[in-house]
Each structure stands twice: as structure tokens, then as C-alpha cells.
């Protein structure tokens, strides 16, 4: 092999080595953004606050929310006025609603439907319809004994003083109209919502 060819190969090798070193150094200095960056909603019914989360960091916080006048429950029933606890997803966005805006949940969850089936609250056919809807990222049936039409909304033309002093909803999470307008910038279909 001639010295000129050897020199070209060594120069190419040095360039490749420098490129690999540069990539490794760059990768080490860039924060990992693929893990823990999901934007999701956390509804804390003890602190009466809704937080927009990015991974485990609070991006925006809305205090003084209202929940169902019946409190909370893991296993809600139609007309009990309780806010269901659990993990849901935004399945409907209505920017023109009686309550100003409405972000509907894919309630009931599969776990809630399964417990209701075991307790005899819903039948096998209703459970299967709920299961199929959730498996296809669709809104599950809303007319079962578990109730439905739950989500996050504003107060519409309601009295802001009542909102400040009482849990007044039939099971939804309520924010002021100003808060729900701000939240609308974050909300997307399929967004995860944890109510605890």
C-alpha cells in the first residue's frame, strides 16, 4: 500500500473518530426528552386543584376547582353526584357548551366497568360495549347505571360565588370560565387525565 493511500485512510479514520466523539459528547449534553415529557392532567380532589403536568413537573396550576356535590368515588353510579376517581382520557372537546367549554372523559374505565359487572350493576352486553369502545379509543356508552357525560368544564352563566364556596357539579370537575379558556390551550384529544 502506498504512503499516500495510507495517509488518506488514516485521515478518513480520524474524521470518523472525531465525528463519533462529537456525537457522543452532544448526546451527553442534551437532556433526555423522550422519557417523562407527556403532557397530562392531574386533578387533585383533596387539594381542589387541577395541574397541567409535563412528566412529573407542574406546567400550569388551576386552584379552587369544584367537584361533584356528592364527593368522590372509585365506583360512581348514575345520579350519585360523585366525581369518579381513576385514569381517563379526553375523548370529546366542545368549545361551545352550556358550561362554556367541555372536555369529556372516556368514562367509565375498563376497571370500573369490570367491577360494576362483578357487582351486577351492569350486564355482560353493557360491559362488552364499554370494552370495545375503549379498545378502539371511542367514547364508551354513557347511558348505563354507571352514568356518563363526565369531564372538565367551566361555570358558563353560573354564579362564580357558588363556584368559590361549594362543590356544585353532578360529578364533573369545574373551573372558572377564565381557567377553562386557559386550559383549552393545553387540552388535546386522547390526553391522559388522572383524578385522585
**Cα 96–151–60 angle (5° rounding)?**
90
Per-position pLDDT tens, the chain of length 196? 666 555 555 455 555 554 444 444 444 433 343 455 899 999 999 999 999 999 999 999 999 999 999 999 999 999 999 999 999 999 999 999 999 999 999 999 999 999 999 999 999 999 999 999 999 999 999 999 999 999 999 999 999 999 999 999 999 999 999 999 999 999 999 999 999 9
Q: For position 100, what pLDDT does the model report?
A: 97
What Cα–Cα distance (Å) separates residue 85 from each residue in 32, 51, 122, 165, 171?
31, 16, 19, 22, 10
Q: For position 34, what pLDDT does the model report?
A: 44
Q: Cα(first)–Cα(last) distance of the chain, in Å?
A: 72
Cα–Cα distance for residue pair 23/33, rounded to 1 Å: 17
Per the document, the length of the chain is: 196
What CATH number is given for 39-195 in this structure? 2.40.440.10
Q: For position 30, what pLDDT does the model report?
A: 34
Q: For position 23, what pLDDT does the model report?
A: 42
Q: For position 21, what pLDDT does the model report?
A: 41
Among candidate residues 143, 154, 156, 152, the one with its CA nearest the CA of residue 191: 152
Q: For position 13, what pLDDT does the model report?
A: 54
Say what angle helices 124-135 and 110-118 make with each other, to 10 degrees: 170
User: What does the block give as the cell for 57?
Assistant: 413537573
Q: For position 27, what pLDDT does the model report?
A: 41
Which sequence spans correspond to the domains of the chain? 1-30, 39-195
Q: For position 108, what pLDDT does the model report?
A: 97
Are 190 and 90 contacting, i.e. CB atoms less than 8 angstroms apart? Answer: yes
Q: Which residues pair with 73 in a beta bridge?
A: 84
Query: DSSP E strands: which ranges in the chain?
Result: 39-44, 49-54, 57-63, 72-73, 83-84, 86-97, 100-105, 151-153, 173-174, 192-195
Amino acid at each position: 500500500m502506498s504512503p499516500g493511500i495510507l495517509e488518506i485512510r488514516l485521515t478518513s479514520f480520524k474524521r470518523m473518530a472525531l465525528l463519533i466523539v462529537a456525537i457522543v459528547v452532544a448526546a451527553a449534553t442534551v437532556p433526555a426528552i423522550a422519557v417523562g415529557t407527556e403532557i397530562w392532567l392531574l386533578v387533585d380532589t383533596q387539594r381542589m386543584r387541577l395541574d397541567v403536568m409535563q412528566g412529573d413537573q407542574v406546567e400550569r396550576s388551576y386552584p379552587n376547582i369544584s367537584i361533584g356535590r356528592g364527593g368522590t368515588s372509585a365506583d360512581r353510579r348514575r345520579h350519585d353526584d360523585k366525581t369518579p376517581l381513576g385514569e381517563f382520557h379526553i375523548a370529546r372537546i366542545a368549545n361551545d357548551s352550556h358550561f362554556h367549554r367541555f372536555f369529556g372523559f372516556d368514562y367509565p374505565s375498563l376497571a370500573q366497568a369490570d367491577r360494576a359487572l362483578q357487582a351486577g350493576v351492569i350486564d355482560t352486553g353493557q360491559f362488552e360495549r364499554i370494552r370495545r369502545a375503549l379498545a378502539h379509543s371511542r367514547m364508551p356508552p354513557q347511558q348505563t347505571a354507571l352514568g356518563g357525560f363526565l369531564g372538565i368544564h367551566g361555570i358558563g352563566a353560573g354564579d362564580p360565588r357558588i363556584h368559590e364556596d361549594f362543590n356544585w357539579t353532578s360529578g364533573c370537575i369545574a373551573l372558572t370560565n377564565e381557567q377553562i379558556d386557559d386550559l383549552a390551550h393545553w387540552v388535546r384529544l386522547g390526553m391522559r387525565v388522572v383524578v385522585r
